[in-house]
Amino acid sequence: MNTNQPCPYGSHRVITPLGALPQSADVIDNTMVCQDNEILIDVQTLNIDSASFTQIREACGSDPEAMKAMILSIVARRGKMQNPVTGSGGMLLGTIREVGKALTRDLKPGDSIATLVSLSLTPLKIDKILSLYMDKDQVDIRGQAILFETGIYAKIPTDLPADIVLSALDVAGAPAQVAKLVHQNDAVLIIGSGGKSGVLCAYQARKSAGPQGKIIGLIYDESERADLESLAVCSQIVQADARKPMEVFSRVMEASGGVKMDVTINVVNVPGTEMASILPTKDSGIVYFFGMATSFSRAALGAEGIKSEARMMIGNGYTAGHDRLTLDLLRESPVLRGLFQKRYGAEAK
């Protein structure tokens, strides 16, 4: 193990390049010995970032065994689950094995937690992949992980099933940011509104915009419409390919009566959707890119090319209280909770 003095941010576990932080490092030390400022976790489930899981599935031709082999290879090579193509990770569900003696935490061995920091910076060792779930972006494993001193986590509550908690917390930053960005009577576009983060964002957008707000949900596949309609939060639901900006612009303007959006939330997991987000947004509006497939250069240069002054924000998976806000959405809406249970609960496995 790297013998550098333990660092709150985990730099003592960086192998290459030295001087980097764990997220940007190529390789980190995944020796599963708990240092004084670390937390050792027995891992049950990895919730892999949607963009990463999609890329792995496509690269492996949807072959589960090939996907397992690729995941094992990434972790063995890098010491963490960070997709080398997308750069993204995910999060995990596990049980506390040990808390470093220099830490004061509300944790004890045996507590179940979900980590709220990315797998792209989390030392991870996989002994065996037990199951892989194509429709949930999840992998059950036998293995261990390390949480750094500055790493955040959520204890698994007793009133919600652990599997849907894990799925919701994986994208908790998105609805929490919607709560900050959307105001009463705003016109809001949710690109990718039929997905996991999309339904949470659409629900929160309606709460924030109120009954007079205009919430437009953009879906890629008509099969997503029924679930989104069941929430009764969208003023209009339109189907379009977000990789085709003029198609999106035309259909959104038709749905909105020619009114551009105050806020656009992009939660898709495929590249090339930046301009579909910027075009329908007011110059005074905000575009929030939550998906890890977003390209900064495409967004910045594309906005310049159409003379857009829309404020663009890169999604940060953390905002204060995001875990509580997201789980409270599931608690207050039986329909939303039922949707998550159907998609990500035990019966979906």
User: What does the pLDDT look like over 164-188, one tens digit per residue?
Assistant: 999 999 899 999 999 999 999 999 9
116 and 177 fall within a common domain: no
Confidence category of residue 191, pLDDT binned at 50, 70, 90 = very high
Note the pLDDT of residue 292: 80
Q: What are the structure tokens assigned to 206, written together?
A: 């309606």
Tens of pLDDT, residues 279-310: 999 999 999 999 888 999 999 999 999 999 99
Of 56-60, 134-138, 316-320, 337-341, which range is least confident? 316-320
Within a domain: 200? yes
Note the pLDDT of residue 345: 86
105 and 243 fall within a common domain: no
35 and 119 fall within a common domain: yes
Closest CA to 31 of 144, 152, 148, 150: 144
Note the pLDDT of residue 269: 86
Within a domain: 71? yes
152 and 185 fall within a common domain: no
Confidence category of residue 1, pLDDT binned at 50, 70, 90 = low
pLDDT at 3 over 60: no
Which domain-ending residue is among 128, 156, 184? Answer: 156
**Arithmetic mean of pLDDT over the chain:** 95
198 and 228 fall within a common domain: yes
Note the pLDDT of residue 4: 58
Closest CA to 53 of 23, 77, 89, 78: 89
Do 293 and 270 contact (CB within 8 A), yes or no?
yes
pLDDT at 215 over 60: yes
117 and 217 fall within a common domain: no
Domain span at residue 199 reads 173-322+327-337
Within a domain: 214? yes
Tens of pLDDT, residues 62-104: 999 999 999 999 999 999 999 999 999 999 999 999 999 999 9
Which domain-ending residue is among 126, 156, 186? Answer: 156
Which domain-ending residue is among 101, 128, 156? Answer: 156
- Cα distances (Å, whole numbers) of residue 285 to 76, 209, 244, 262, 288: 44, 14, 21, 5, 10
Report the alpha-carbon distance of residue 142 to residue 136 in Å, rounded.
18
Domain holding 281: CATH number?
A: 3.40.50.720
Do 145 and 28 contact (CB within 8 A), yes or no?
no
40 and 145 fall within a common domain: yes
Q: What is the mean pLDDT of residues 41-58?
A: 95
Note the pLDDT of residue 347: 62
Within a domain: 3? no
Note the pLDDT of residue 76: 98
Report the alpha-carbon distance of residue 349 to residue 346 in Å, rounded.
5
Note the pLDDT of residue 131: 97
36 and 101 fall within a common domain: yes
Of 1-15, 37-51, 110-124, 274-288, which range is least confident? 1-15
pLDDT at 349 over 90: no
Domains in the chain: how many in total?
Answer: 2
- Share of residues in the chain with pLDDT > 90 (%): 91
Within a domain: 201? yes
Q: Which pairing describes strands 124-133 and 138-147: parallel, antiparallel, or unpaired? A: antiparallel
Do 96 and 111 contact (CB within 8 A), yes or no?
yes
pLDDT at 348 over 70: no
Within a domain: 68? yes
245 and 136 fall within a common domain: no
110 and 244 fall within a common domain: no
146 and 203 fall within a common domain: no
185 and 296 fall within a common domain: yes
Tens of pLDDT, residues 121-137: 999 999 999 999 998 99
Within a domain: 58? yes
Within a domain: 87? yes
